[in-house]
Amino acid sequence: MAERLAQHKHCPTCGLAMGPKREACGDACAATLAEKLRKRRLLMFVWISASVIMIAAAIVAMK
Ligand SMILES: [Zn+2]
């Protein structure tokens, strides 16, 4: 029992204890986690796109 308790981690979405090899405690939390990652990736994409556009605009403005 003590060994079982030692080998666990907490769900990143709701904080419940779960198995060490799981990414989320259940389907609902897995979906929430996937959505969070998707939004983060989208935000990163927007950021990079904006940076590229700004740099391109700066280069054009210098000419
Ligand atoms: Zn959870």
Averaged pLDDT in 10-residue chunks for the chain of 63 residues: 72 93 94 96 98 97 88
Quick one: which H or E segment has residue 43? helix 27-62
pLDDT of residue 1: 53
Compute, in angstroms, the gap from residue 15 CA to the centroid of ligand 1. Answer: 6
List, as ranges, residues with CB under 5 A of the ion ligand 1.
11, 13-14, 16, 25, 29
Query: What sign results for the dihedral spanned by CA atoms 50, 54, 59, 63?
Result: positive
Compute, in angstroms, the gap from residue 48 CA to the centroid of ligand 1. Answer: 31
pTM above 0.75?
A: no
Compute, in angstroms, the gap from residue 41 CA to the centroid of ligand 1. Answer: 21
CA separation for the pair 23, 6 (Å, rounded): 17
pLDDT of residue 54: 97
Distance from CA of residue 12 to its chain's centroid? 10
